[in-house]
Amino acid sequence: MHQTYIKNSLGGRIFDFFNITFMLVFAFVMLYPFWNQLVVSFNEGIDTARGGLYFWPRKFTLDNYLYMFNNSNLGRGAIISVLRVVVGTATTLFCSGLLAYVTTVRWFSGRRFLRIVFLITLYFGGGLVPTFLLYSKLGLLDTFTVYWLPGLFNAYYMLLIASYMYNLPDSLAESARIDGCGELSIYLRIIAPLCAPVFAAVAVFSAVGHWNSWFDVILYNSSGKWDTLQVYLRKILLDVEQISKLQNEQKQMAEMRNLTPLSVRAATTMIVTIPIIFTYPFFQRYFISGITIGAVKE
């Protein structure tokens, strides 16, 4: 670090002071919105509406969360979300990695062609409507399959993984080939384990993408049969019907009189966010390396 070479002048120390102050403000701006949501989610809805709620719940309650947990749809949404993350990430990792492997076998005559065919898809696509019409023709609408099948071979992940595979010595795969190993098992047993860091990076990108994705859910699953957690949250956020249903329930049931759509929404937001908050710091190493690989693609 270059700081070691220079003495800190007075100007430097003043700068440090302002820089650290700025960073504290910055950290507050980044974190407080989540904290505020957490406070609202643990506070009685009616009380929250009075305003002035800053750093700690005023009238602590678990009702907002209980309402969401008793609402059986939420559990279903959570299961579908988790299933989507697991199936989507596992399949895209296996297939995009396999594709990357095939394009890095140096003597394979089809590797350039294959690579180009996939690269084109990065820069041009059919667009929203033709894709929608195609999925409806394929019978993919209102199925779970639509969450993972269209993402099976991802050109961007292929690039990331392939750029890592290029740096592995050819001799590894060649010696296995001489021993009579098939391509699939060379990929699975020899190459893939060596690529663990890049696979981890791709897994983080893919898993976060699947967890957070919502537009394709409302687009391709309009029946609501395979709604994910995010979409439940969106319904409470924007769907007027859903909100008025909540308000009606609230009027009818005494135990719900302290709930408001806002407080229930805060609880749902936290349920969706907490898995992310507690896992992303541990994956930091991987996604940072993934970004840096991606930056020097060619």
Residue nearer to another protein on the CB measure, 33 or 75:
33
Residue nearer to another protein on the CB measure, 32 or 253:
32
In the structure encoding, which two tokens stand for residue 272, read together? 């969706």
Find out whether 220 and 142 touch, Cβ atoms under 8 Å: yes
Q: Which of 123, 179, 223, 240 binds another protein (CB under 8 A)?
A: 123
Touching another protein, residues 24-43 (CB under 8 A): 26-27, 29-34, 36-37, 40
Q: Which stretch binds another protein (CB under 8 A): 83-91, 118-126, 162-170, 245-253?
A: 118-126
Distance in angstroms (rounded) separating the CA atoms of residues 246 and 261: 7
State the minimum distance, in angstroms, from the CB of residue 154 to another protein. Answer: 11
Find out whether 257 and 250 touch, Cβ atoms under 8 Å: yes
State the minimum distance, in angstroms, from the CB of residue 6 to another protein. Answer: 5
Q: Which of 72, 106, 129, 278 binds another protein (CB under 8 A)?
A: 129
Touching another protein, residues 78-107 (CB under 8 A): 95, 98-99, 102, 105
Distance in angstroms (rounded) separating the CA atoms of residues 113 and 165: 18
Touching another protein, residues 186-225 (CB under 8 A): 208, 211-215, 219
Q: How many residues bind another protein (CB under 8 A)?
A: 97
State the minimum distance, in angstroms, from the CB of residue 88 to another protein. Answer: 14
Q: Which of 14, 25, 79, 128 binds another protein (CB under 8 A)?
A: 128
* 6 part of the interface to another protein, by CB under 8 A: yes
Q: Which of 72, 109, 167, 223 binds another protein (CB under 8 A)?
A: 109
* 278 part of the interface to another protein, by CB under 8 A: no
Residue 109 C-beta-side C-alpha neighbours within 13 Å: 0
State the minimum distance, in angstroms, from the CB of residue 59 to another protein. Answer: 15
